[in-house]
Structure 1
């Protein structure tokens, strides 16, 4: 649920996104959280926009997207979504192709392992 004007602490973002506080700090140091503000005392203050980005960031990271590509996406978002849509699309499509290739490889590995399990079950059945 989006709450306009909502502000979140690093700890709250950590819980909402499912990412450790240290990871949130790390990604901030890398410049991967666009438009992140700080309070007068230096604490990070996250908005709904930041929360949405952090959820996307977690998916990018969890899917194995290289940090350099995420950094490029972040920089392009800061430049303007309309002006950089084609470039951002190209980065995401490149990663999507890599994921699809990996999915095929994993499917082949699963089939391979299933054949071994089937063979072992047959051996056990024959020995009973």
Structure 2
């Protein structure tokens, strides 16, 4: 699949896809006889994985480390698992903080509704 299709399919710019490959977020993409990137299903799975991990806030350097370990083979399974466990805990911490912020926003919205009701009843 050509880069334009991958870009459209995953809603990621072509420049971002090239960057992901350049910094090692996705393994090197094979090129066709014309030298144009030709993404395989495996490449697309990496794009989807990286997009998902970036959407939840995983830092690029952590993802680069993870991909590098993956490319080294099965002897790095433990190290990859540790990365994911650590990042999962950080995500849970962020979720907890976001839930606190959301509750505070809900309280503020409720208070504004009460004020509007009081003003209406005057």
> TM-score with structure 2 length normalisation?
0.92
What residue is the counterpart of 1:103 in the other structure? Answer: 95
Question: For structure 1, which runs of at least 5 residues remain unmatched after alignment?
Answer: 1-7
Structure of greater relative contact order (alpha carbons < 8 Å, 6+ residues apart) = 1
Q: CA deviation at 1:35?
A: 4.3
Query: Paired residue for 2:49?
Result: 56
Unaligned stretches of 5+ residues in structure 2: none
Query: Partner residue of 1:87?
Result: 79
Query: More helix by proportion, 1 or 2?
Result: 2
Q: After TM superposition, which residue ranges in structure 1, 4 or more long, deviate above 4 angstroms?
A: none
How big is the shift at 1:22?
Answer: 1.1
What is the TM-score with the length of structure 1 in the denominator? 0.88
RMSD: 1.1
Matched, 1:37 2:34: no
Q: Is the 8 A contact 1:34 1:77 kept in 2?
A: no
What residue in structure 2 maps to residue 5 of structure 1? none
What SS does the corresponding residue of 1:44 show, helix, strand or coil?
Answer: coil
Deviations 1:86-116 (A, max 9, x none): 1111111111111110101011001101111
Q: CA deviation at 1:51?
A: 0.7
SS at match of 1:55: helix
Name the stretch that deviates more: 98-107 or 31-40.
31-40
How many residues in Structure 1 have an aligned counterpart in Structure 2?
120
Distance apart, 1:18 and its partner CA = 2.0
Q: Which residue of 2 aligns with 1:112?
A: 104
Q: Per-residue CA shift, 1:48-82, capped at 9, x if unaligned? A: 111111100101111111111111111111111x2
